[in-house]
Structure 1
Amino acid sequence: MSSDTDISLSSYDEDQGSKLIRKAREAPFFPFGMAGFAAIVAYGLYRLKTQGFVVGAMTLGMGYSLYQEFWGKPKP
């Protein structure tokens, strides 16, 4: 009685590099898809960083103006 586990265990012996090469040979557009995905993620992280800086600067500005208005001026 033969089982399919003997065949499927060979895929666990592959390391990441050989698995990537095998996928690239099976589907030629796979590397282009991976590169496109990496580019989209990098662009998104760059935009998020820029937005985070703007939101942080606005928050600090509002905090400073609240401090000046309520605690910074002398009481009469």
Structure 2
Amino acid sequence: MSTDNGGWAPELESTVGTKLLQKAQKSPWVPVGMVGFAVVAAYGLYRMRERGNMKISVHLIHTRVAAQACLVGAVTLGAVYSMYKDHFMKQSPVGPEK
């Protein structure tokens, strides 16, 4: 009998924390957007008592839109930075003309 198992290797177990760390290394703007989303949502819930005569549904919609804008803005900044890094920073050096 052979002890070779055909190159099979068990998958590494990954938790939510390790997946988040891997994502943060690939695109650091995503965790920034997630933190911004959480901060805006928490602030909106904190300010719920002092909303004045505004309906609760309208206040929650405004809070959701602000939180989503924070997340979408961070992802957009990450995409723009990635495009800049891929297209402008990796240009080949110009050699001497002949």
TM-score computed with the length of structure 2 as normaliser: 0.40
- Larger RCO: Structure 1 or Structure 2 (Cα < 8 Å, ≥ 6 residues apart)? 2
TM-score, scaled relative to structure 1: 0.49
The structure with the larger Rg is 1
